[in-house]
Amino acid sequence: MELSELKIFLAVARKGSISRAAEELHCVQSNVTTRIKQLEEHLGTLLFHRKSKGVALTHSGHLLMNYAERIINLSREAEEAVSDQGEPKGRLSIGSMETTAAVRLPRLLAYYHKIYPKVELNLVTGSSKDSLWRLLGYQIDGALVAGEIDHSNLSAELAFEEELFLVAPPNITSIDSIENLKILVFGSGCSYRAQLEEWLRKTGKITYQVMTFGSIEGIMGCIAAGMGVSFLPRSVVERPHYQNLCTLFSLPSDVGKMNTWFVRRRNEKYSKALQAFVDLICSSRQ
């Protein structure tokens, strides 16, 4: 097997489509199809179920995907071990929650780019669950996530300490006056959403509707319009352009505090670019 074949295989597996994989790889669809068939013939097994729209991994395909990710990563590590001399350089992909990306990262990323201009930074936003999945799948190099980290293949360092508020429409004067409760949150896998729903269960407010959003602006705009409430960090809601759009309610310490962690894969050689990013986050807390 060649590395190029494994990279093509992984692109098809992740996209679930030969045509979309070809677009990502910047090559013609027929070339991708041929290389996949050659790989299947070499291994003597089908790697994909062909469907009317797209493809799906077979059992053998799932097995190969695990090995392929590890092989590609080891190849990259080998290259970095040999060439990672002098100043940080190369590609660095970081996963982050939307809230952290919007508030905590802009200045850090700008400063990082200024002092390490040879690093190609890539920021991928999503829920904590999504970021951990991408990290374990070798799609990103590190991730900023919230909540507890309990995985033997990951190591975590404290990045930020967040204070959470119950954020309600500006006309709400007390938590008890909130009726027809709607919670405005990010999708499943968001740590702040999980914290909010746990608090609702503890306080007996078990009847509520959920509205999901993809951005802070969407959530805050709908809170300002009186549509519902959310749990958000102080660093987000105390920005000047949000202060007149909502009412903030302090929360008990067991639900009102949440740490953001920077998570990396354990037991692998870290590039200078990644280590420099971690050092910058740690220094920002001092």
Confidence class of residue 80 from pLDDT cuts 50, 70 and 90? low
Q: Where are the domains of the chain?
A: 3-82, 87-161+259-284, 163-256
pLDDT in tens, 132-153: 999 998 889 999 998 888 888 8
Amino acid code (one letter) for 156: A
Q: Residue 84: what pLDDT? A: 57
pLDDT at 206 (0 to 100): 67
Look up the CATH number of domain 163-256. Answer: 3.40.190.10
Please provide the average confidence, as pLDDT, over all residues in the chain: 87
CB 142 within 8 A of CB 94: yes
> Where residue 9 falls among pLDDT bands split at 50, 70, 90?
very high
Q: What is the pLDDT of residue 77?
A: 73
Question: Is residue 96 within 8 Å of residue 105, measured between CB atoms?
Answer: yes
Q: Which residue has the higher pLDDT, 179 or 45?
A: 45
Q: Which residues lie closer than 8 Å to 281 by C-beta, 6 or more apart?
A: 108, 157, 159, 262
The pair phi, psi for residue 96, each rounded to 5°, is -155, 150
92 band by pLDDT with thresholds 50, 70 and 90: very high
Mean pLDDT in residue range 254-278: 88
Q: Which of 82-91, 177-186, 205-214, 257-266 has the lowest mean pLDDT?
A: 82-91
- Assess whether pLDDT exceeds 80 at residue 205: no
pLDDT digits (tens, 9 = 90+) for 151-182: 888 999 999 888 888 888 888 878 777 766 78
Residues in CB range of 229: below 8 A, 6 or more apart? 166, 167, 168, 169, 172, 178, 181, 182, 183, 184, 223
- pLDDT score recorded for residue 214: 85
Q: Residues 13-28: what's their mean pLDDT?
A: 91
For residue 264, what pLDDT band results from cuts at 50, 70 and 90? Answer: very high
Structure-model confidence comparison of residues 90 and 31, the more confident one: 31
CATH number belonging to domain 3-82: 1.10.10.10
Does 284 have pLDDT greater than 80? no
pLDDT > 60? residue 43: yes
Q: Do domains 3-82 and 163-256 have the same CATH topology?
A: no
State the pLDDT at residue 109: 93
Whole-angstrom Cα distance, residue 45 to residue 11? Answer: 19
Report the topology of domain 87-161+259-284: D-Maltodextrin-Binding Protein; domain 2 (3.40.190)
Predicted confidence band at 122 (pLDDT cuts at 50, 70, 90)?
Answer: very high
Question: Given a cut of 60, is residue 74 above it in pLDDT?
Answer: yes
Average pLDDT over residues 19-25: 91
Q: What does residue 270 show for φ and ψ, rounded to 5 degrees?
A: -90, 140
pLDDT of residue 228: 86
DSSP letters, 119-144, are EEEEEEE--HHHHHHHHHTTS-SEEE
**76 or 227, which is more confident:** 227
pTM score > 0.75 for this model? no
Q: pLDDT at position 166, please?
A: 87
| Average pLDDT of the segment spanning 96-118 | 91
